[in-house]
Structure 1
């Protein structure tokens, strides 16, 4: 098994900055266990890549002008774990900046991400959704 390195992690995450999230998610296991921490509408534990992207990235894509764009600001690697700090480079549909900060703790197996714990600014996520989302299936505000 090829070990992960800071360079390989930065290369993998680079597609998130250019808005090509599909290239990033090709390296995420179909059965990923992804936990988004917090008390906002995107928080929860997702047991698959499709479930995660449908409830987080796709939902944010509807409230951000150019979708989710994330830039890596820091990476720490130890064996099969990468701690990746990111910042959002997005603008909400109402024109306000969405400059969230993230820390994703990612576990790799066989070259794919199989587990993530994601930390972020819950209040900012709640605000951008409240101010920009008109409808979302399952949204309790309907």
Structure 2
């Protein structure tokens, strides 16, 4: 059997469908699109800023502590998407209210490297000042949130 070929167009289509679900508050397709050795990098100097290495680390050290802080369902709406080669770049807007009653409505640019129909690496550019003022540090988060 011939291995599947993932072109820029197929990678773009995959991420459009993943983001369409995230816009409805369904984060499961986003997690499913991560490769097992996926790396997610958040630059900056916030307590959340670092590289999370491996899908399990992304889920347990980034996503669960983050989503535990949310009082309302998190949505993230795709505004623009560009794909070239194995790279997909997405501009999107997240909306949610934290348990502390703060709006955490951030604008993101995700630069994703794709491999074999999965996200291999993601660089997340965002408003780090909003992270600092609206979110608690990851160590203080209650880990009961769901994606």
What RMSD in Å do the two structures reach over aligned CA positions? 2.2
Alignment of 1:1-142 (within 5 A): 1-5=5-9, 6-130=12-136, 135-136=140-141
Gaps of 5+ in 1: 138-142
Q: Which protein has greater RCO, CA pairs closer than 8 Å, 6+ apart?
A: 2
Per the normalisation by structure 1, the TM-score is 0.84
Name the CA distance, whole Å, in 1 between partners of 2:140 and 2:102: 19
Gaps of 5+ in 2: 143-147
Per the normalisation by structure 2, the TM-score is 0.82
The number of residues matched between the two structures is: 136
